[in-house]
Structures are given as C-alpha cells and as structure tokens.
Chains A and B, each alone.
Chain A
Amino acid sequence: MRRIYAVLCSRPESVCNFIEAESISGPDTRFVYKHYATLYFVFLFDSSENELTMLDLIQVFAETLEKCFKNVCELDLVFNYSKMHTILDEIIFGGQVLETNSSEVMKAVEEISKCSLSLSLCARLGFFIYLFFFGGGGEGRGILLVHL
C-alpha cells in the first residue's frame, strides 16, 4: 500500500491512469487509479479485465458513493466504513464485476442498510486510498489512510 501511495504521489496530473504493477503485486497485474479531490481509488486487475472498463468502474463506484453521501469526502468513507463495504460488495463480488449500474447498486444498498449518516467534521484532511484487488486469484482489500 505504501509503495502504491508513493507511486501515486509521484505521478503528475494529466498522465495516464495505469500503473504497471508487476513489481508490486505479481505477474499479470496492473493498477488503475482515479482521484477525486482527496480521494484516490485504486483498483488492481489482471488480464481478464479491460483497462478502460476498470476506469469506468471506478467512476461507477464513485458515483454510487456520491449518491449515498452527497458530496463524498474522506470522512464519509472513514465513518461509514461498513456501508462502503456494502456498496462495494454489490459492485464487485468475489473478484468479479457484477453490477455496473449505480442506481441498481443504490437500491440494494438502501434496502440492506438502515444506518444513518453520521458525519462529524474534523479539520484534518488526508488522502484516502481505497484499494481493491480482484481478478482470478481471489480478492482482497486494503485501505490506506495517509494524513497530510
């Protein structure tokens, strides 16, 4: 995670969103990332996924979060950690993309969770990287929170 973070930070704006990841996470893997303000989303994928659809998938995920939290920020994700997992579980299941329509996802999520938003504003900003591994080898997830 830290290495990915270092790589991400070293990349300027307006470069492509792919990172060859063989040195970090083994053969036939690549990262795709996208960042919205302070939120970085990094997906790790292998050759059974299309690069551009992965970018779209991040978009779907971010849109869903947006719908869920209204102007999503790092704190939403930190404090609604389990909700975020729920959303993700609807989109990506067992290392495979299942649902790509964010309103479908929303419907499911709303039905599942009845928890209310608990927003409390703290002053500290940070980078929030949500990393999701998927592909043939199963999935794993990890989150890195880096305070500025």
Chain B
Amino acid sequence: MAGPSLMDSLFQRSLDDLIKGLRLHQPTSESTFISKSLDEIRREIKSTDPQTKSTALQKLNYLHSLHGLDMSWAAFHAIEVISSQNFQQKKVGYLAASLSFHSSTDVILLLTNQLRKDLSSNNVFEVSLALECLSMICTVDLARDLTPEIFTLLGSTKSFIKKKAIATVLRIFEKYPDAVRVCFKRLIENLESNDVGIVSAVMGVFCELALKEPKSYLPLAPEFYRILVDSRNNWVLIKVLKVFSKLAILEPRLAKRVVEPICEHMRRSGAKSLVFECVRTILSSLSEYESALKLAVEKVREFLVDDDPNLKYLGLQALLVVSLKHLWAVLENKDLVIKSLSDDDPNIKLEALQLVMAMVSEDNVHEICKVLISYALKSEPAFCNEILGSILSTCCRNVYEIIIDFDWYVSLLGEISRIPHCQNGEEIEKQLIDIGMRVKDVRSELVRVGRELMIDPALLGNPVIHRILSAAAWVSGEYVELSKNPFELMEALLQPRTILLPPSIRAIYVQSAFKVLIFCLYSYLFPDEAVASSPSLPVDLDPGVTSSISPKEFSESSDVVVTEPLADREMDEGFNPRDISQSLEDVSVGNGGDTVIAHEQTSCSATLKKDYFTQESIVKLLDLVERTLCPLMGTHEVEIQERVGNIRGLTELIKQELPEFLVHKERNVEGVKVKALEIVKLMHDAFLEELGPVSTSAQERVPIPEGLMLMENLGDLEGICGDIQLPIPSQFCFGRPHSGGRESTSLFNQQTDEESETSYECTSLLAEHRKRHGLYYLPSEKLETISNACPPAKDPQHSDDVNDDGQDLVKLTEQSLVPKKKPNRAKPRPVVVKLDEVDGITIAVSKPESKDYLISGAVREVLLGNEVSSAQHKLPDKSSNKRREKDKLDIDQPSETKENLANVGKSETSTSKKSKHHIPGKERKHKSSRTNADEREDVQKDKTKSGHHNPRHKARQRADDNVDVIAQTPVIPDFLL
C-alpha cells in the first residue's frame, strides 16, 4: 500500500462524513463501505500530520465501538496521538487506548512516560484524561510505576482531580497491592473531607474493597459509623450501608450499634433507593434484631403493594433473602406473593415462584402443588416449565424430604408428564426411577402410573416425553410382578408406534419386554414360586418367621438363613443338586415365601394372578414377542439388535421345549429338568434382585481385587482383557472380564449390569454379579417414613443384623444428607471444597459400611461357593484399605490444626484486633504471601496512626481466593463429626 500522500490529508473524510456515509448505505452494502473506510484509515493513520492521524484514529474508534471492528493493530498509533500537544487529539488518543488496550498489549509500556507527564500536568483536564485512561487499562507495571504520581494527586487541592485519583486508586490496588502502603493513609484522611463528592468516591472504593474481603476493614468502622450518622447524601449512605452489611456479620457488637441508625434512615428517608438498601442490609445481615426486622418487613410490604414493578420486584427479592432464616416474613406476605404469580412481568413471576417454593413444607406441599399445576396449565410455556421445574426440584430436595405421600407424588409426576409443553422429561425420568429404587411402598403405584403413560399411544408422538416413557418402561419391567396385567404391559411395550422412539429408549423398551416375558413364563412354569416371590417385594423381610408350608427348596434355604451360613454352607451345597449360585437365588425366593405366608392378603392376590398364566396366553405372548421383535433383528442399532437377539434365542428355546415340559407336568414327574425351565428360573431370579440407589461414595467401598494394579498403565489391563473391550474410563475397577469372572473378585459396574447383555449362557454369572452388586448400593438414604423398608428383601445377610442396619441407617441418613443439603443453597460453592467435603463424608460413611461389607461380603463369597480363599484374602485387603483411609484422615487433621495454630500465632503477633475474626484454613493458600504481608504490616504499623488497617493489602491478594475461604470453613465441623 502506498504511503499517505498530501492529497489524502487534504481530502480526508471526517468522522461526520464517515457516519453520514454509513447511514446512506443499506445494511447490505454497509460492510463493503466499512472495509473501504478501513483501508483509508490504515493509510491515513500513517500520515505524519497529527491532525490526519487523529482523525483517522477517531474514525477507527467509532467503527470499533459501533461495528465491533478490531483496532488492536492501531495501538502504536494511539500512543503517537496521545503524545500530541493538542488537547482534542490527545483526547482521541486516550479514548482509543482505553477502548483497545489490555494487559497483553505490548506497546503499553511506551505509554508509561506519557502518562506520567500528563498526570503531573498543570492542565486539570489533561490529568483527568490520563487518570481515566489509567483506571481503564491499568496493568501491574503501570500501577507500580505510577503509584508516586497517584499519591501526589491524592493530596491535590482540586476536588475535580482528587476524586478521580481516588477512584483510580482502586484499580492501582487491584493490580499492585504494595501501593496500599503508600496511598492508604491519604485515602482514609479523605473520609473526613467536607466535599461530598470526595467522600462518595472514597466510600465507593471502600465498598468495592470491603465486598471482597470485609474483615480487614473492621477497624475503620468508627469512621463509617460517623458517615452513617452524619451524612445526608443518599449515594454515600448507600455505600456505607453496603459496607456495614458485610461488617455486621463479622462483629456482633458493631451490628448492635448500627441497627438503630439504619432503622432511623429507614423511617426518615423518602428516597426509595436508600430505604431499599436499609431493608436489604437488615434482612441480610441484621435479621436477628426483631424490631428492625419487623420494620424492614413492613417496608417490604409497602414495596410489594406499590404500583412500580421495580419496587415490587426488589421487594420480592428482599423477601427471598430473608426466607431462609425467617420464613414468617414470607408467610406474612403470602397473599401478595401469590398475587405476584400472575403479574405481567416475568421477573416478578419468577421471584414469586421462588418464594412460593420456599414456603413449601410437608404440610402444604399437596395444596401448593395443586395450585401451581393449575396455574402452570394457564400460563405460557416458558413459565409453565419454570413452575414444573421448581416443583420437581423442590420436591426431590434432600431425598424427597417433604414428601410423605409418595403415591400422591408419583401420580403427580404422571400428571406433570401429560402437561403439554412440559420440558422436564429428563428430571421426571430421573425421579421416577429414583423413587422406584428408594421407596418400596410406592412401587405398585409407580407401575400403575407407568402403565398409564405407556399404554397411551398418543404420548409416543411427543419427543419431549420420550425420556419419561423410558422411565415408565423401565419401571414396568423392573417391577412387573406388581402389575395387574403383564400381558397388557407387554403389548404396550411392543406397540407399533414405539418406532417413534429414539434407539436408546427403544432398547430399554426391549429390555423391559424381556423382563416381562421372563416374569410371565416363570409365573406360568412355576406357579407356586411365582405366588411366593411376586408379592414379596413390598413387604418387610422377617427372617424369624420360618414357614411350615414352604415348598421343597424353601426349607433348605430357610435353614441357611436362620442358622448362620458358614458351617451349614457345605451341607447345603451337598444336597443341593443345582448350581451353587442358584441355591443363593433360592434363598432369596425362600425368604420371600416366608414373608408371604405371614401376610395373607398378598398371597391372596397372587393366587388370583395365577389364573392369568394359561397355556394359550403364554403361547400368544410368545407369538407376539416373536412377531414384533424379529423384524428388529435387522436394525442398525446394536443395543436393540443384541437385546432382541437374546429374547429371540429364549423364545425359540422355550417353544421347542414347552411341549416336553407340559408332558412332564401333566404326569406330575418331579425332578425332571428342562433346560429352558432352568433358564427361565435363573433369569427370573436374576431380575428379581433389586436395584437400589447408589451412594456417591459407592466407588470407595469397592475392594481392590487381588492382583489388580491400579497404578499400572491401563495398557496392561487391556492385555489381560484380551479382545473383550470394556469401556474402562467410565467405570472404575473390575479386576477381570467375563472370562475370568468366576474365580476373580471382579465386580461389574452398574451400567453393564443394569442393561446387561443377558445372553442366557452366562445367566448364572450375571445373577452372581447382580447379587454381589447389591452390596454397593446404599441401602439407606431413605425417609423416616419408609426407613423400615431398607434392607433388600432378598438379602439374607442384611436380615441377620437388622438392628445394626438400622443404626447404620440413622448414621447414614444423617451423614449422607449433609452433602446434599448444601448444593441446594442459593450460593453455589466452589467445586474444590465440595470435593473435600464429599471426601470427608465418604470416609465417615465408609466405616460402618465397610464393616458391614466385611461380614456380608464374606458370607456371600461362601454362599456363592467362590473359593473361600478369595474371601479371606479380601479381609486383610479391605481392612488395610480402611486403615489407609484413616491414615489419610489423620494426616489431614493434624496438618490442618498445625496450620491453625501457626495462624493464630501469627495473627496474634501482627494484629491484635484481627485475630478473633480469623478464619482458619485460609492461610494454607497464602503461606507464601503471608511472609510478605507480615513485613508489610510492620512497615505499615509505623506509618499509620491507628495501625490496624494494615491487613488490607493482604486482602488484595486474598480477594481472589476469598470464595474458597468462605466455603472452606464448614469443612471443619464436618471433620469433627
């Protein structure tokens, strides 16, 4: 490109020309005009004539601001223009710098000298320009180099300059904390200035600083208090209030003193902004002062009835702040809150909704949900979903804390699913399955709701509901024994419109169909046991009841339960002709049987059920399955294809052997075994095993299998696994794959288990894994109302020590609720600390649990007949594991306390006043900076008269970690627990 010529300078377009030109062009041709202008600017900006250059820069500024053009390339030219003698040109240059410079602009260092020169200029406007620019682009280097100039300006006699210098100090402090040493004293002196503008500027700075790290400013409280009482400027008062709202939390005595003046302002002031600030300060920080709180709530009510939507909105927000601690304040304004739900303003509606949700409790959850649902139906889709979402999240809070009537809740979920434009499918899916696993008593209702959803072909057409349908299908399959009509379920699962479902959900449908099929076959082939097993789920397990009428294998298995297994095991094995793993299944079935006998009404319903399973119905069922699923063999989705393959294999086998079986059955021949029969039985037992909720710490409790080197490269593992490709990263530990599964202690993770490729050759394996899997579910985490339902019904070990379990349960619920409560708080906590906390709890939880594991794990090993040795090996392995955890804990704690001690010592020496507000644990992060800070403190002590403002520069460095610090403190009590 040619250099700028004289002609360019003479006929340069001015900014006005550019703007006019832009406005004449249509939006379509605008971009070409802009790029043409940009070319001109690039040429003109190289001109030697300062006027041409600055005009070019001015145009660039404009294009940058309004059209987002990049102007970082012109950084050097901006500096050239800044150095101009002409004020107008200088101004353009400074504007360009503040618009485009940032910390990585390399030429920024060239600006230092020019800034220094302008800061000490006699022209106040030049000084002002330089200050403005500095406050925008301040870097560490600039801050360090220009601190002396700023210090001088802080003592300026012209308030025009002084207040700008004060505002600039904030940026300087942020970048260069050492500047505090130099400037802080002068800053404080300005608090006593008579000029409102200056006080306002200083308060602005302190407000920003105190919001980040309030502790350090406690010593300044007297000055702030004086301003609070004396000042009549609302802007200043608001800033002071903001500072006090932070300080009052830290120092109760201070709170006591300020509460009266604040109330006074609240009564006296006509400025809504000041009143609101007072209200907010009281609600957030001084809510323990009853009279003040009452007054504040009164004011809030005034806001709520005001016509101004802004006040209404802010009033609702203020209520939300106080709702956590003083719910009565919300309840008092209940009418207004409910009314606000129907406001035109979406913001107000959302706030009101949050408040309504805050009012929900066990007693009123029914009514509130009813009102809200009817309300949701009337409102527009976005808000409707907002309502539904908050209902869902409120109800599932703390593991469904507020729900007592789960039947009602489950049917509510069903109702919500049917609301048009419901977008919460995923959450409903999660909750349906979660409730199914956690709450036993509600399962029959769950199956009913699931059935209603599934048999409605219209719902299949709505993609939003697919996730819910998948949950419904899963529930129907998993708890099919509670269904009134399994055949109907099967038809629903296989209805032609399922083609509309996405493959992953279709796979769940197919799997559920498989479960239903197995159940039907089992009920037909083993009518007695079906009676026994099917209704056993909802009733309590009671090992003490020994049955006299139990069928053949029950008696032997009951023995196993009643007499502790280790010794009897061999004997048991001895006269059990079948596979060992199967005998375990029998145990569970047996237990079920016992209970049923204890509960007559259930067995009654079960006999009714028996009539369903006639030969025709079964044959029809098999036909239906074959007919609908065979076409799916050709699908491209492996998940579906595989599952269909499994079902098909089974149905073919059954069809072959069914006639044979019937012959045997008619002759009443005992002991004849048909292959298909056994498979059906195995599968049924496998599916009967309950899936429970998984604790977040489940992974911790998995013993490391022998011979597994976790530290080694996974490549080796791959070698061991051979050609079986397991999705390793998503799972944690399982020693060996299927091939070695028998003798290894391998553990299959839930995922593979749940939707396992249940090819029937490995049924026994699967059953075993399923059995064992139960161990890692947290049996508790349930509500008090249903806590008696916790031990898995089919679990002999659990039944042995019901009492222990009960105690564990109490502990577990206590502990496991802790981490769940916190995320619900309005303030999100940083991730790191959350992990810390979760770890702490995991360790605590794993202790009772692992003990439980030791017992039950050993028993299971023995019962399963896996080599006894492996079980024994596990014992030391596990305990050492536990010890390791303990060690970890021990190590953590002393180091923590050590630090605390060091902490206290230090702070005692450095500042006397501060130490009592010290939050331990934070120092860890600042070890390095502390030494620095201490030195500085000493220096500062000599300098400042009052000596205790000094920790404030430390604050600078801490400010960033401040969030961590706050969140870290609750960790300590958790550890102490």
Contact of B242 with A48 in the complex, beta carbons under 8 Å: yes
Which residues in B have their C-beta under 8 angstroms from that of A26? none
Contact of B272 with A98 in the complex, beta carbons under 8 Å: no
Which residues in A have their C-beta under 8 angstroms from that of B66? 78, 143-145
Given contacts A93-B135, A94-B168, A112-B125, contact A99 B208 (CB under 8 A): no
A-contacting 9-mer, from B3-11, B309-317, B542-550: B309-317
Contact of A93 with B197 in the complex, beta carbons under 8 Å: no
Given contacts A14-B309, A120-B20, contact A85 B95 (CB under 8 A): yes
Which residues in A have their C-beta under 8 angstroms from that of B91? 82, 86, 112
> Considering only CB atoms, which chain A residue lies closest to B203 in the complex?
A96
Which residues in B have their C-beta under 8 angstroms from that of A82? 58, 61, 91-92, 95
Contact of A14 with B205 in the complex, beta carbons under 8 Å: no
Shortest C-beta distance, A14 to chain B (Å), equals 7
Binary B-proximity of A82-111 (CB < 8 A = 1, otherwise 0): 100110010001111111100000001001
Which residues in B have their C-beta under 8 angstroms from that of A9? none
* Complex Cα–Cα for A53 and B200 (A): 13
Contact of B238 with A53 in the complex, beta carbons under 8 Å: yes
> Considering only CB atoms, which chain A residue lies closest to B163 in the complex?
A98
B833 within 8 A of A: no
* Complex Cα–Cα for A89 and B347 (A): 31
B-contacting 9-mer, from A35-43, A65-73, A134-142: A134-142
Find A141's partner among B27, B65, B125, B272 (CB 8 Å cutoff).
B65
Contact of A81 with B65 in the complex, beta carbons under 8 Å: yes
Which residues in B have their C-beta under 8 angstroms from that of A108? 160
Contact of B197 with A98 in the complex, beta carbons under 8 Å: yes
Contact of A96 with B205 in the complex, beta carbons under 8 Å: yes
B179 within 8 A of A: no
Contact of B164 with A98 in the complex, beta carbons under 8 Å: yes
B171 within 8 A of A: yes
Contact of B344 with A147 in the complex, beta carbons under 8 Å: no
Which residues in A have their C-beta under 8 angstroms from that of B114? none
Shortest C-beta distance, A11 to chain B (Å), equals 8
Which residues in B have their C-beta under 8 angstroms from that of A51? 273, 276, 310, 314
Contact of A147 with B314 in the complex, beta carbons under 8 Å: no
Find B208's partner among A18, A79, A136 (CB 8 Å cutoff).
A136
Find B309's partner among A15, A98, A142, A145 (CB 8 Å cutoff).
A15
* Complex Cα–Cα for A12 and B273 (A): 24
* Complex Cα–Cα for A142 and B235 (A): 26
Shortest C-beta distance, B22 to chain A (Å), equals 9
> Considering only CB atoms, which chain A residue lies closest to B345 in the complex?
A15
Interchain Cβ contacts within 8 Å, total number: 129
* Complex Cα–Cα for A94 and B208 (A): 12
Which residues in A have their C-beta under 8 angstroms from that of B62? 81
Which residues in A have their C-beta under 8 angstroms from that of B412? none
Which residues in A have their C-beta under 8 angstroms from that of B205? 96
Find B201's partner among A18, A55, A98, A147 (CB 8 Å cutoff).
A98
A3 within 8 A of B: no
Shortest C-beta distance, A47 to chain B (Å), equals 7
* Complex Cα–Cα for A139 and B128 (A): 17
B348 within 8 A of A: yes
Shortest C-beta distance, A28 to chain B (Å), equals 10
B600 within 8 A of A: no
B277 within 8 A of A: yes
> Considering only CB atoms, which chain A residue lies closest to B211 in the complex?
A48
Contact of B312 with A16 in the complex, beta carbons under 8 Å: yes
* Complex Cα–Cα for A82 and B58 (A): 9
Contact of B163 with A15 in the complex, beta carbons under 8 Å: no
Residue count of chain A within 8 Å CB distance of chain B = 48
Shortest C-beta distance, A114 to chain B (Å), equals 8
B823 within 8 A of A: no
Binary B-proximity of A1-20 (CB < 8 A = 1, otherwise 0): 00000000000101111111
Which residues in A have their C-beta under 8 angstroms from that of B135? 93-95
Which residues in A have their C-beta under 8 angstroms from that of B160? 108
Shortest C-beta distance, B389 to chain A (Å), equals 15
* Complex Cα–Cα for A141 and B272 (A): 28
> Considering only CB atoms, which chain A residue lies closest to B135 in the complex?
A94
* Complex Cα–Cα for A86 and B90 (A): 13
Contact of A118 with B238 in the complex, beta carbons under 8 Å: no
Contact of A138 with B136 in the complex, beta carbons under 8 Å: yes
Contact of B170 with A111 in the complex, beta carbons under 8 Å: no
Given contacts A96-B201, A97-B235, A139-B136, contact A52 B167 (CB under 8 A): no
* Complex Cα–Cα for A116 and B27 (A): 29
Find B212's partner among A55, A85, A136 (CB 8 Å cutoff).
A136
Shortest C-beta distance, A135 to chain B (Å), equals 8
Contact of B204 with A78 in the complex, beta carbons under 8 Å: no
Binary A-proximity of B10-54 (CB < 8 A = 1, otherwise 0): 000001100110010001000000000000000000000000000
Find A15's partner among B95, B208, B314, B347 (CB 8 Å cutoff).
B347
Which residues between 269 and 284 of chain B lie within 8 Å of chain A, taking CB atoms?
272-273, 276-277
Contact of A79 with B132 in the complex, beta carbons under 8 Å: no
Find A52's partner among B125, B242, B272 (CB 8 Å cutoff).
B272
* Complex Cα–Cα for A93 and B207 (A): 15
Which residues between 63 and 97 of chain B lie within 8 Å of chain A, taking CB atoms?
65-66, 88, 91-92, 95
> Considering only CB atoms, which chain B residue lies closest to A47 in the complex?
B211
For this complex, 5 residue pairs linking A to B, each with C-beta atoms less than 8 Å apart, are A15-B345, A16-B308, A96-B167, A96-B204, A111-B125
